């Protein structure tokens, strides 16, 4: 038989269902908690202690007793059922009365001000308790999107009395709520929250450096180092012979002068940033990233966009030469990298054996620059 504390613990596992019932209008009460009837074959002292502990517990539950004839101890008054008669009684036992009160207030507010959330309330009302403090603001945002399913503005411009960063700070729960509120009016093909709910986003920036002053003058660009929106970068009609893509900012800033070469700071998003850059298809593209699972993933995705991409310092020989500088890394078990050469794949498998991470800035600059220059300028 469970002790009073164990009965409360068992009852706590019913709490999420009770909260969902508050949203759906279902009635789960009286709610019986299985507690295991005392065994009348046990030692009498043990039996009496168990029964006494339950009888004397100051808890807002109802105990149904029955007199049972036992062979060993005669007739004994035995507890048969422990029942909570209401959600308030269960909340009292779990010390969640305030939570229940605030949940009911939140549910009432939601039904009154944003009825479109009714389907969500019927199945997910228990989620409200994770957001009680912000719930009025979340409902206000939902109200706005229900009336304006295609805002066409930036998230911080939504005319709702919440902090300007509120939406971006609550993307998870808002995605869940707005999927119900906006429904079929959402952009079903949108990959991000902002695309899905018709919000503007600042275009990603592509930062690049001319590693050759004459190349800059040749294309007529005013500065050596700058960043432009990715769509604008894709629209360029440059004829550049060599492009070097690197992932680390410090490495990018310290690259040496290399004839006829443009360097691009990928920042872990090279394939996405450079998508649609038709003018790069005629350039010799070299990618240099970290020797880790993420780095090989970026290389693979970039090569899926530009099949002729070559890598530098990411092959098996480079790994064997510099692996003493590697540190513990991470592995994405869901990832698969289909666009690696045999030597890159061997290095990738060695990296996964740790998993390890050989960050590109760990390699001595003189050695790295020599390898990069050799890769870019060799015929």
Tell me what pLDDT residue 336 has.
85
Can you give the pLDDT at residue 37? 67
Output the pLDDT for position 379.
54
pTM (2 decimals)?
0.71
Element (H, E) at 65: strand 62-70
Q: How far apart are CA 308 and CA 331, in angstroms?
A: 26
How confident is the model at residue 40, as a pLDDT?
A: 57
CA distance 206 to 208: 6
* 288 Cβ neighbours under 8 A, 6+ residues apart: 244, 245, 246, 247, 251, 311, 312, 313, 314, 360, 368, 372
pLDDT in tens, 258-313: 999 999 999 888 888 998 899 999 999 999 999 999 999 999 999 999 999 999 99
Ranges of each domain in the chain: 4-94, 97-196, 205-377
Helix (H) / strand (E) element for 31: namely strand 31-32
pLDDT at 268: 85
DSSP codes of every residue in 257-288: P-TTEEEEE-TT-HHHHTTT-GGGGGSEEEEE
Digits of tens for pLDDT over the chain (379 positions)?
A: 778 888 899 999 999 999 999 999 999 999 998 877 666 555 666 667 777 878 778 889 988 887 877 766 677 777 788 899 999 999 999 999 999 999 999 999 999 999 999 999 999 999 999 999 999 999 999 999 999 999 999 999 999 999 999 999 999 999 999 999 999 999 999 989 999 999 999 889 999 999 999 999 999 999 999 999 999 999 999 999 999 999 999 999 999 999 999 999 998 888 889 988 999 999 999 999 999 999 999 999 999 999 999 999 999 999 999 999 999 999 888 788 999 999 999 999 999 999 999 999 999 999 999 999 999 887 5
A 10 A CB-CB count for 355 gives 15
Top-level class of domain 205-377: alpha beta
104, 80, 81, 109: which is closest to 91 by C-alpha?
A: 104
> Phi/psi class of residue 265: alpha, beta or left (left: φ > 0; alpha: ψ in -120 to 50)?
beta
Q: What is the pLDDT of residue 39?
A: 65
Q: Is the peptide bond before 355 cis (omega within 30 degrees of 0)?
A: yes
Nearest residue to 281 (alpha-carbon basis) of 245, 240, 311, 244: 240
- Residue 65 has a pLDDT of 82
- Looking at residue 158, its pLDDT comes to 96
């Amino acid at each position: 038989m469970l002790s009073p504390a164990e009965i409360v613990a068992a009852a706590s596992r019913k709490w999420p269902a009770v909260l969902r019932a508050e949203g759906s209008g279902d009635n789960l009460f009286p709610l019986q908690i299985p507690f295991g009837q005392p065994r009348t074959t046990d030692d009498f002292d043990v039996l009496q202690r168990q029964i006494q502990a339950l009888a004397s517990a100051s808890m807002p539950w109802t105990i149904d007793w029955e007199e049972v004839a036992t062979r060993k101890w005669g007739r004994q008054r035995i507890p048969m059922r422990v029942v909570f008669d209401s959600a308030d009684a269960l909340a009292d036992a779990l010390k969640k009365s305030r939570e229940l009160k605030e949940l009911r207030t939140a549910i009432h507010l939601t039904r009154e001000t944003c009825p479109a959330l009714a389907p969500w309330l019927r199945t997910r009302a228990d989620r409200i308790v994770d957001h009680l403090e912000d719930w009025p603001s979340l409902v206000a945002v939902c109200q706005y999107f229900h009336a304006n399913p295609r805002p066409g503005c930036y998230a911080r411009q939504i005319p709702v009395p919440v902090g300007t960063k509120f939406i971006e700070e609550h993307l998870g729960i808002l995605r869940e709520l707005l999927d119900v509120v906006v429904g079929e009016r959402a952009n079903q093909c949108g990959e991000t929250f902002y695309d899905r709910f018709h919000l503007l986003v600042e275009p990603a920036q592509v930062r690049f450096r001319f590693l050759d002053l004459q190349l800059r003058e040749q294309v007529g660009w005013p500065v050596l180092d700058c960043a432009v929106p990715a769509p604008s970068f894709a629209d360029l009609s440059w004829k550049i012979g060599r492009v070097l893509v690197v992932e680390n900012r410090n490495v990018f800033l310290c690259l040496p002068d290399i004839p006829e070469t443009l360097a691009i700071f990928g920042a872990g998003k090279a394939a996405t940033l450079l998508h649609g850059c038709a003018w790069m298809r005629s350039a010799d593209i070299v990618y240099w990233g970290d020797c880790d699972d993420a780095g090989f993933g970026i290389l693979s995705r970039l090569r899926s966009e530009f099949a002729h991409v070559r890598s530098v310092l990411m092959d098996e020989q480079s790994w064997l030469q510099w692996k003493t500088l590697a540190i513990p890394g991470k592995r994405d078990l869901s990832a698969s990298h289909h666009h690696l050469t045999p030597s890159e794949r061997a290095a990738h498998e060695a990296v996964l054996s740790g998993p390890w991470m050989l960050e590109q800035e760990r390699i001595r600059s003189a050695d790295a620059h020599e390898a990069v220059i050799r890769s870019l300028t060799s015929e």
